[in-house]
Amino acid sequence: MDGGAIRRWAALGTAALSLSGVFALAAPGTAQAAAVGRCAGREVRTLPFLTGTVHLYRSNGFVCATTVPKKPGSGILLVSVQARGNRPVTDRGHYKHHAGPVTVHAGHRCVRVRGAAGRGAVASGWILC
């Protein structure tokens, strides 16, 4: 290899390293955003209420939900998902950032979702039918 070829390969290697560094810096932000919900699948519904929001996800017949408060550390958080014909699956406690995830197998059945943060709450009817 002559000097020009070596410089081109070195420039290509430097560009590849720089690009991988950019992706490494960008990845934690997307991973952190995904970690808040911790549910697989795509978000199909949000149920906002006075003190927070319930995020609802669906993937391969499973429905997953989390409750995120507007103010972290706002007291008791609750999230509940019930597939029609089954009992609700609930997560309730003193959490800072979110309650859940709570996942149920719904198949093609309707689900009912509840969420609460502090004094505010939301309850859906039968949805995602």
CATH class of 38-123: mainly beta
Residue linked to tokens 């199909």:
44
Determine the Cα–Cα distance for residues 15 and 4; give it in Å rounded to an integer: 16
- pLDDT value of position 30: 33
Asked if residue 39 has pLDDT above 80, the reply is: yes
Half-sphere exposure (CA, 13 Å, Cβ side) for 4?
A: 0
Average pLDDT over residues 30-36: 39
Determine the Cα–Cα distance for residues 72 and 115; give it in Å rounded to an integer: 15
Contact 106, 63 (CB under 8 A): yes
- Quote the tokens at residue 59: 């993937």
Per residue in 77-106, pLDDT (tens digit) is 999 999 999 999 999 999 999 999 999 999
Average pLDDT over residues 23-38: 43
Give, rounded to a whole angstrom, the gap between the first and last alpha carbons of the chain.
66
Binned at pLDDT 50, 70 and 90, residue 73 comes out as confident
- The amino acid that residue 27 corresponds to is A
Determine the Cα–Cα distance for residues 100 and 56; give it in Å rounded to an integer: 11
- pLDDT value of position 9: 65
CA 117 from chain center: how many Å? 17
- The amino acid that residue 103 corresponds to is T
